[in-house]
Structures are given as structure tokens and as C-alpha cells.
Structure 1
């Protein structure tokens, strides 16, 4: 990883996070006026706020991504057997998905089904991204991508999840998922480790 490649990854992820936040912000604002800053009177101010929020979320996503890469490198050095690391990652995925339901529901009055929506959507996005990663590289990329897209995304989304508001969760999760998916999928292209076309 050279500085030039890191700059490319940084700026493209920043743009994706800002644009995703802007889009979801306008959708949320059009459906719920409580989200609007200054009651929607200052469109430019709202747009700048959403762009800055998305940029901040993208930086959080990048911190999580590079932390994941470092921890993965250390764990792969300590545990040589790939099946053990894959099993540990799958257990962490399961724990993250269960925690997204149970820890958020413990004091809530809503039904379980309401709290199962987020983990299900997260799992669908993670499976789709993992499948795409396998197409770009090889089958060894499936479980690490699944782990990153579920467990790491769930950890990164803790600030929004603590508020326990659907709007704040959507505003943070959608840019996070977009940034995380972008980073994990583009990494092999940036490092030139993609599969050669047949």
C-alpha cells in the first residue's frame, strides 16, 4: 500500500460517504420534518450538515477498515490454521447479529420483529458484498468480507444504535455500509490482487 493508493482510497470513500449521507438525509427529511435542521428553512445549511456528517461517518468507516486489516494481519500471524480463524469470524458474526436484536430490545416496548429488521438487512448486504468479493478475488474472501460487513459495521454503528432512533440509525448505517462495501471491494483492485480475466 503506497501513499498514492491510500489517498485514492481515502478520497473516494469520503465522497461515497458524503453522497450517501446526503441522499439518505434528503429522503429522511422529506418523510420526517423533525429531522430537518431549522425546520427546513435553510436548505444549504442542511445540505452542508449532511455532507459533513457523511464525511465524518466515512472517516469512522476508514478507521474501522484499517483497524480490521491490522488485527486480521496479527491474528493470521498467530493462528496459522485458516479454518480456526474462519470459525472465529463466523462466531463473531453470529454474536454481532444476535446482539443487534437482544441488546437493543431489552428495555423496548416494540415487538421483536422491529429489532430483527436491521440485522436481516445487514446480513443481506453482507452476503451480497461477500459474494461480489468472491467474484473479484477468490472464495477465501467470503468469510473475512462477511465478518467485516457485519461485525465491524455493527461496532462502528454503536453511536447511532445507542440513540435508538430509526432516523439516526438509517442516517449512519447507510453511509457506513456504502463505505465499508466500497473499501473491501476496491482493496483488491487498488493492491492489484484481483483475479485475472479468463
Structure 2
């Protein structure tokens, strides 16, 4: 792939992260920002938009760092594990999903919290990842399904760690959704850029 394609991927992912975070930020925290729109406070709305855009750029850069790290790890995995790389990825996916439920429950559950409520984010992550992996495999080949699933679940979870440690409900979804959008965008656009160049 040519260097200008990498630059195009970087800038477009940056924009995807920034714009999606602005939209999702207003949606997720609507109760906080609703009064600004009711009052018609344009200066405050614009300042919030620029703040959300900046945060979205940060999420996008985190996503891109994870993506390039994954591309390297994937090459190493293929070289070291050879035919076993696919089962290793499946084991890691299961391990990460289990940890998202078990460790969050152990660390953050209150006395009245039910274990079932801690399945919400891992379940959503799994469904989202399955959809993206399906389209990746459909657009390329069936061998791409497990690597795409691994990237969307394992790498996204690693990128999501700051929000997981804080465990504040609004930040969990506020960070996860832009990361998922950026990661799926990069995953689904990469083969098109390679084919084009």
C-alpha cells in the first residue's frame, strides 16, 4: 500500500472518530446538554462540540494505534503459531469476554447488583464484532472472519481499558462506541485500499 493511502486512512479515520464522537457525545449525554439547545446558547454548544471533536480525535488515534499493533501481532502470530493461530485467537476471544464479565463483577459490583447486568457490554461487543467480521469475510474471504472477530473484541477491549478502569457508565459507552466505529471502519476499508493500490 502506498504512503498516501496510509495518510488517507489516518485522516479519514480521524474524521470518522471525531464526527462520531460529537454525535454520540450529544446523544449519550443529552440530559447534560439539552439545556444548551433549549436556551439557544450557540457559544456553549460550539465549545462542547469542539471538546467532543478533540476527544473523538484522541479515541481515533487510540483506535489506529491498536489497529497497527494488531497488524503486527497478527503477522507474528501467523509466523509463530502457524496453523494454530486461529484456535489461539478463539481462546483469547473467549478469555477476554469472560474477563469482561467476571472481573468487572468482582471489582465493581454492589451488593444489590446482579451478575446478568454485567453481560450487557460483552454481549453488545460480541454481536457488533460478529456483524463486522461477517461483512469482512463476505467482502474478502472466509479466512478473515476469526482475525476480524479477534480484532474487534480483543483489541477494542484493550483500547477501552481507561474507561473500564473508571467504570463510569456514561464513559463506558462514550468511549466504546467511537472505538467500535473507528475499528470497524479501518477493518472494512483496508482491503479496498490495498486493492486500489
Fold equivalence (TM over 0.5): yes
Q: Does 1:11 align with 2:11?
A: yes
Whole-Å separation in 1 of the counterparts to 2:162 and 2:61: 14
Is 1:127 the counterpart of 2:130? The answer is: yes
> Given that residues 24 and 170 in structure 1 are in contact (C-alpha distance below 8 angstroms), is that contact kept between their aligned partners in structure 2?
no
| Partners of 2:29 and 2:170 within 8 A in 1 | no
Mapped to 2, the partners of 1:97 and 1:20 lie a distance apart of 25
How much does 1:31 deviate? 2.9
Which aligned runs of 4 or more in structure 1 are off by greater than 4 angstroms?
none
Task: Find the counterpart in structure 2 of residue 55 from structure 1.
Answer: 57
Cα distance in 1 for partners of 2:49, 2:172 equals 19
Does the CA-based 8 Å contact 2:60-2:182 persist in structure 1?
Answer: yes
Deviation, structure 1 residue 32: 4.4
- Secondary structure of 1:79 counterpart: helix
Residues in 2 aligned to 1:184 and 1:155: alpha-carbon distance in whole angstroms: 16
Q: Which protein has the bigger helix share?
A: 2
For 1:121 and 1:32, the matched residues in 2 are separated by 25
Distance in 2, matches of 1:132 and 1:61, equals 19
- Scaled by the length of structure 1, what TM-score is found? 0.90
Instruction: Output the aligned Cα RMSD.
Output: 1.8
In the aligned structure 1, how far is the partner of 2:91 from the partner of 2:31?
38
Count of matched residue positions in the alignment of Structure 1 and Structure 2: 187
- Residue 43 (1) aligns with residue 45 (2): yes
Summarize the alignment of residues 1-198 of structure 1 with structure 2, pairs less than 5 Å apart.
1-32=1-32, 42-81=44-83, 84-107=84-107, 108-109=109-110, 110-192=113-195
SS of 1:101's partner is: helix
Q: After TM superposition, give the deviation of residue 115 of structure 1 in Å.
A: 1.2
- Structure 2 runs not aligned, ≥5 long: none
Any stretches of 5+ residues in structure 1 without a counterpart?
Answer: 194-198
1:167 Cα shift? Answer: 0.5
Other structure's SS at 2:144 match? helix
Kindly state the Cα deviation for residue 154 of structure 1 after the two structures are TM-superposed. 0.5
Shift of the alpha carbon at 1:105? 1.1
Deviation at 1:57, TM superposition (A): 0.3
